[in-house]
């Protein structure tokens, strides 16, 4: 059973960069797409972007200018960086395995709060 675990700071200052890592266990990052999704408190789901194990990326146009994703196959991890954060970026951030259509395995999510 594939398992994903998000890790990173739970508090980020406004205008700084949010950095999260997703560690995959029970399977390999190789051969798959991997996605980040976020959910502001009490609101719906927003797709941030995906990365293929080879490093190819595709980002939500609304966030594209601030998002960078990377993958480390040797560590079985992939990462998200979101720059110039504001209070609007406060959310639970999920990583998930992306089957190019649906998301079949998800991490438990991690709350990131942007403080002023």
Partner 1 sequence: DIQMTQSPSSLSASVGDRVTITCQASQDISNYLNWYQQKPGKAPKLLIYDASNLETGVPSRFSGSGSGTDFTFTISSLQPEDIATYYCQEYDNLYTFGQGTKLEIK
Give the interface with partner 1 as residue ranges (CB under 8 A). Answer: 35, 44-47, 58, 60-61, 94, 96, 100-104, 106-109
DSSP 64: G
> Minimum CB separation from partner 1 for residue 16, in Å?
26
Rounded to whole angstroms, the Cα distance separating 82 from 12 reads 11
Rounded to whole angstroms, the Cα distance separating 110 from 5 reads 9
> Minimum CB separation from partner 1 for residue 14, in Å?
26
Q: Which is nearer to partner 1, 16 or 46 (CB)?
A: 46
Rounded to whole angstroms, the Cα distance separating 34 from 40 reads 20
> Minimum CB separation from partner 1 for residue 13, in Å?
26
């Amino acid at each position: 059973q594939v398992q994903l675990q998000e890790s990173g700071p739970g508090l980020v200052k406004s205008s700084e960069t949010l950095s999260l890592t997703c560690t995959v266990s029970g399977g390999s990052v190789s051969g798959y797409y991997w996605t980040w999704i976020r959910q502001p408190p009490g609101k719906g789901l927003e797709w941030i972007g995906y990365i293929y194990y080879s490093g190819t990326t595709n980002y939500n146009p609304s966030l594209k200018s601030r998002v960078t994703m990377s993958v480390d196959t040797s560590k079985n991890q992939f990462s998200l960086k979101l720059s110039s954060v504001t209070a609007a970026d406060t959310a639970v951030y999920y990583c998930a395995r992306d089957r190019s259509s649906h998301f079949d395995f998800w991490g438990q999510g991690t709350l990131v709060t942007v403080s002023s």
